[in-house]
Structure 1
Amino acid sequence: MPLPDLRLPAVVLVALALAGCGSKGIKPSSAPLGIAPEYVARDNADTRRRVNYQDQVTLSAEAFRAGAIDVAEKRAKSALKLDASRPDAYILLAALANQRGADAEAGPLFQKAAELAPNSGEVLNNYGAWLCGHGRATEALPLFDRALAAPGYRTPAAALANAGGCALDAGQPERASRDLRKALALEPDNAYALESMARNEYAQNRYFEARAFAQRRLAAAPATRSVLQLASQIEAQLGDTVASGRYLQRIRDEFPQDAAPNPRS
């Protein structure tokens, strides 16, 4: 499944940098000559609301990181009540929906964030990842393209990896290979891109190439059941039944709750 553009565990990162909140209506008070004047800040209601919104978003993200999901959700909803025209609270609520196992609820929240921030690479990538993960690859691929074209997008490897994996799901192996290779040129240890490349090469019957990518994937990040099964299938196609069996044994040892019989070659 494509991965969201995350810096919080398993889900979404929101931009937490405080927006410029310069106080309005600052006036010097009367003071005797030779004494530095006192300045009194009188924030108007809009400035206070903006600051309060950012405070709630920041507190929500901190609670999310700490695993306090209920607190994070309460803070994010408070932020949304203060300002429903910004994407941060929607993305946090989508992340929290994923965390609660209510992934279907996350889609409309990601969509709303994308409508509010149509030029944010992170937001577009997140929504594209959700769409592709729900079988809507043809809708997702243009969002990844828009994310990559967005000015100032800081993590293009994430969108390229997601685009490549999504293209693979959509039956577009040439685009998949192109985008995944670009992602790996930027981020050689991108686990999702490596596994997707292994799958793409396997689907094209290029088993030695698939083996190389699977081995790189296993070296880059902790194993998952899916990548071990893929590695076993690759070795079976290459005629190395011993290596294939070792991967199956790892599935039984590391994922006993869902270990399966030998995969089909």
Structure 2
Amino acid sequence: MLCSMLAVAGCAGSKGVKPPKPELAVAPTYVARDDEQVRRLHGYQTQLALAGSELQAGQLDSSERRARAALKLMPARADAMLVLAAVAERRGRQAEAGQWLQRAAEGSPERGDVLNNYGAWLCQNGQAVQSLSWFDRALAAPGYATAAAALSNAGTCALAAGQGERAERDLRKALEQDPGNVQALESMARRSFDQGGFFEARAFVQRRLSAAPATVSMLQLASQIEARLGDKRASDQYLQRLKQEFPQDAGTTTRVEG
């Protein structure tokens, strides 16, 4: 859920370019204040870029120091908080990660990506119902370029919250915008299977397996779907793939008879 946190080096708004000087003389205090603002922004961007690079390299201590230094320079900026949340998550400190994500989301109501991140954290930490309002806020944010991600998250979390109709609505919207959205395809396959729509579930699984490498759960589901449809040969073929591609997990598979 926090992989988007890693690409933070270029997310800090202004590029730190000093505005052109006016032709008329200006008060020295204005120039000093402007220069200080530019220096702080440049310092923030530098520390943030280093924090992101060190996070990707697994250097958590130095990444945290850099992110805190950036946040000290510009306390209202969300991207440094996202790095701190990612550091906390990698250390297994889920509650701390959530606190940083909540702070970032509450302070950046116009950032769809930040709102989506907090919603995903809530859902992953047993608060699926509460997560849905944050996905709604993300989708309402102006200029949110990756709405399919929030729709996919919202649909998946609506399933977890027992809101099947909303789940299907959001998942289908996600697939309209991004037909290869892996999470939406997986969730729709499970939704269709649970509803007894095995032919539709088969179609979603086939699309999912074409969109990205197979996983244990998808091969298991594919085998179960074929068993429900009465195609023992296809079911066994998926089980054989499971043994070949994931031998360490093949022993946990249970057959579903049609």
**Which TM-score applies when normalising by structure 2?**
0.85
Could you tell me which of 69, 79, 83 is aligned with 1:92?
83
Report what 1:262 is aligned to: 254
- What residue number does 1:14 align with? 8
CA distance 1:18–1:150, change in 2 (3 Å):
closer
Q: Within 2, Cα distance between the matches of 1:193 and 1:223?
A: 15
Q: Find the aligned partners of 2:179 and 2:191 in 1 and give their Cα distance.
A: 17
Between stretches 226-235 and 45-54, larger displacement belongs to 45-54
The more displaced of 186-195 and 78-87 is 78-87
Correspondence list, 1:110-189, <5 A = 110-189=101-180
Structure 1 residues 48 and 232, CA, compared in 2 at 3 Å: closer, same or farther?
same
2:6 touches 2:55 (CA, 8 Å); kept in 1?
no
SS in 2 for 1:222: coil
**What are the within-5 Å matches in structure 2 for residues 241-256 of structure 1?**
241-256=232-247
The change in CA–CA distance for 1:90 and 1:264 in structure 2 (over 3 A counts) is: farther
- Which deviates the most, 183-192 or 97-106? 97-106
Distance 1:70 1:219, change over 3 A: farther
Question: Contact 1:191–1:221 at 8 Å: present in 2 too?
Answer: yes
Please, which of 221, 224, 228 is the counterpart of residue 215 of structure 2?
Answer: 224
Q: Distance in 2 between matches of 1:24 and 1:208?
A: 61
Q: How many residues align?
A: 247
**Match of residue 214, structure 1, among 205, 217, 222:** 205
Equivalent residue number for residue 38 of structure 1? none
Q: Tell me the distance in 2 between the aligned counterparts of 1:25 and 1:157.
A: 39
Pick from 185, 189, 194: which aligns with 1:198? 189
Q: Distance in 1 between matches of 2:12 and 2:108?
A: 17
From the two aligned structures, give the one with the greater helix fraction.
Answer: 2
1:102 CA drift (Å) = 3.8
- C-alpha distance in 1 between matches for 2:115 and 2:9: 14
Structure with larger RCO (C-alpha < 8 A, sep 6+): 1
Confirm or deny: 8 A CA contact 2:9 2:52 kept in the other structure. no
Provide the C-alpha distance between the structure 1 equivalents of 2:125 and 2:104, rounded to a whole number of angstroms.
18
- Partners of 1:87 and 1:18 lie apart in 2 by 9
Deviations 1:198-255 (A, max 9, x none): 0110111000000100111011011111211211221121122222222223333323
Offset of residue 54 of structure 1: 1.4
Q: Within 2, Cα distance between the matches of 1:156 and 1:225?
A: 28
Unaligned runs of 5+ in 1: 29-40
* Cα deviation 1:114-140 (Å, max 9, x = unaligned): 011022100000000111111211111
SS of corresponding position for 1:232? helix
* Alignment partner, residue 27 of structure 2: none
Deviating above 6 A after TM superposition, structure 1's stretches of 4 or more consecutive aligned residues are none
Unaligned runs of at least 5 residues, structure 2: 24-30
- Please say if residues 24 and 44 of structure 1, whose CA atoms lie closer than 8 Å, have aligned partners that are also in contact: no
Q: CA deviation at 1:257?
A: 3.1
The letter for the 1-side match of 2:10 is: L
CA contact (8 A) 1:124 1:146 kept: yes
Residue 75 (structure 1) aligns with: 66
* Cα separation, 2, equivalents of 1:90 and 1:142: 21
Give 1:202's aligned amino acid: F
Report how far residue 47 of structure 1 moved. Answer: 2.9
CA RMSD of aligned residues (A): 2.5
